[in-house]
Chains A and B, each alone.
Chain A
């Protein structure tokens, strides 16, 4: 079912991409209705799931189903286990959708017979896939309605914070840059950046291996890397950061996530130069809190010979890095929707070969992105060490004067000042401790507001997909 759904999404996305080139809007809604037939629902062995995919909104404006017939025929051929047509969906379900996004521009229903689709595990996979899809297609609001075995559920995949990025060839993407990491306790209300700031990396041409060419894949293939580091600590320049996880997500040219494990990316850590990066090691792991499906997750460990005592006292925020690999393909001899779909399926089928054929360049690209990310991390660490060393001198010198002063008014004034924030400061020992804590907090969590972190223009309504970011 997931594969079939991907195919249908591919068709819609490729249509949308063509229209994007015409400068048309890309926001809108996507409805996915999945329900089981009541007469067979009790017999799980013969579970039949009906699926309706509907699209509406600006991103679909101008699409006519009649014009899609050749592509739909091809689509049906590629989804042969499905049954065409299937039961029509409940008109009320569709009307609620059209009320939000306008009249339907695309509607397709099909049926799949497979017991796996009746399980909660499969539903979790589906949701993870849709979340990953939304990550790079944040302008499309997805409504997933499930009625499996008489259990109904409704999920809406909407994005709080979006950011439009322009890749090469004027390709525009709307990314989900929402950061849901909770702020540390030292952060005041309203002073936490809830978004990531994508950084566009290099565009890397990929050579197509000969065996893939023999299968019919020609033209120019490339990959554009985009990185997203979260949570954002730009407003807190003195806090140290620690990169702990990296996730690689690959998207095909129609911007649909490539699912399934990648041998290439799983072996990638072994060929990274960790020493150059100042890391102890990077290894493939199964990150328990995996939000996005597909992709490969790495755990990062830093050098173990750093001073553990100092490290434990220095505030450090852990960060995760998302590495987007956006595949792009162009072939002047491929313009028909059907050919585009076939090409994309070829790319997905031979992706491992393509990646391996460009191993050196891809490894270098990942190394570069990690180096750039860690440069900032290392700089922060040095700054924090500087602050820490100076703070000890400041505190020692101040306390030396307070302790040796014979001016009772001065000493009492110092003690009473700190009593305001700390209940009991009776002597210079306690004064030293409370001064240390205050100095640390004040210097480590120094807040420098950044316009790009707190701009009020980031929220975008679905029907308005004007550029979302104002870089002031």
Chain B
């Protein structure tokens, strides 16, 4: 039994060993990043307020300059980190005398005042935090949606050049996690993810997590909630034990990404991605691995460049002879997205991924993970994933 398990994980162990060598090179650099102290955060917020007061004293309209988080022109790529914001970035100006931007100006100031209070109170050793939804529900008319709060907190983090976790404002999580993992939340709550039937919501305070205990051999990121639930239902974590599975339910939120990053930083075990064989799935996988344009200013704490593409590979569709009626033709949008992905800087260092994507381009079809049920109802958890893991079927 033990030798069977050992054989099963041999490829994974080899990968683990290889990754550990590389971790020694990068870890020191990552740890060199300093935490910003609370007083510095307060000073940065105060300087913004002082600028506003100075503008008004000169009878000028106050203006906020936000680094542009949506432009590729502000992005540079480093294979060890991923997509990160350039030091010389363009800014978007938010004016207080323009009706089209004054509401955003007010929203930023409001959240700044909340952050200021939270950070200030933390200096007395009481860790006070606030959820995005609390800010939203206290000011629904001002913000309109919780998404607006999320976006502005990111803008503030980027503007102040302060990590999100240091702002004491936490986003609600949408991700789920399950498997061989135990940890303690900041408030002392002990979390055990071992349950086979139900998953645990990803914590809202990843930086507050401590005492992580796991003997998992790998982590599997799953794109969709439906696939995640399927794996739970099929008791995947028990059958392919020990492992951890996590999903961000589509495009991952920051907490899901932070969790994956935290697991990598703590455990240094292989991290695989199981996504649909379509451009959207590949893009989601790239977000975990290399980061996003919008959050590039915090790439260091969000990206896991060691993520491997386990499946569903376009070449799997041919190899497994997935029935044609389970395949979907690429739309114009898919083709455009695929071209855009192939031009991204991070793919130049991934020839195997490029090959798979070009195969998709040539075949002009895509497929969801669920298409494997066309071969057999439990093909995914009984055959596909075990074989992939056993024989090193990742790229």
Contacts and interface: CB of A to CB of B under 8 A. Distances in A.
A383 B106 CA distance: 15
Contacts of B212: none
B120 A404 contact: yes
B343 interface: no
A334 interface: no
Contact of A407 (B42, B99, B106): B42
Interface in B93-130: 96-99, 102-103, 105-107, 109-110, 112-113, 116-117, 120
Interface stretch (B24-32, B45-53, B66-74, B357-365): B45-53
Given A386-B99, A394-B96, A442-B97, A401 B56 contact: no
A67 interface: no
B112 to A, nearest CB: 6
B113 A400 contact: yes
A398 B109 contact: yes
A413 B43 CA distance: 13
Contacts of B46: 401, 405, 407, 410
B97 A413 contact: no
Nearest to B103: A390
Interface stretch (A14-22, A140-148, A416-424, A458-466): A416-424
Contacts of B56: 418, 435, 438-439, 442
B52 A398 contact: yes
Interface in A356-370: none
Contacts of A435: 53, 56
Given A398-B52, A407-B43, A417 B57 contact: yes
Given A417-B50, A417-B53, A418-B53, A442 B60 contact: yes
A404 B112 CA distance: 13
Contacts of B107: 393
A435 B54 CA distance: 10
Nearest to B107: A393
A420 B57 contact: yes
B96 A439 contact: yes
B102 A414 contact: no
Given A238-B99, A387-B102, A404-B117, A393 B110 contact: yes
Contacts of B61: 442-443, 446
Interface in A409-442: 410, 413-414, 417-418, 420-421, 435, 438-439, 441-442
Interface residues of B, number: 33
Nearest to B61: A442
Interface string A370-404: 00000000000001001101110110111011101
A268 B106 CA distance: 46
A262 to B, nearest CB: 41
Contacts of B99: 238, 383, 386-387
B59 A441 contact: yes
B142 interface: yes
B49 A401 contact: yes
B53 A390 contact: no
A51 to B, nearest CB: 57
Contacts of A386: 99, 102-103
B50 A390 contact: no
A404 B117 CA distance: 8
A438 B61 CA distance: 9
22 contacts: A383-B99, A386-B103, A387-B99, A394-B62, A394-B106, A396-B113, A397-B112, A398-B53, A400-B116, A400-B117, A405-B42, A405-B46, A413-B53, A414-B49, A420-B57, A421-B59, A438-B57, A441-B59, A442-B61, A443-B61, A443-B97, A446-B61
Interface of A: 238, 383, 386-387, 389-391, 393-394, 396-398, 400-402, 404-405, 407, 410, 413-414, 417-418, 420-421, 435, 438-439, 441-443, 446
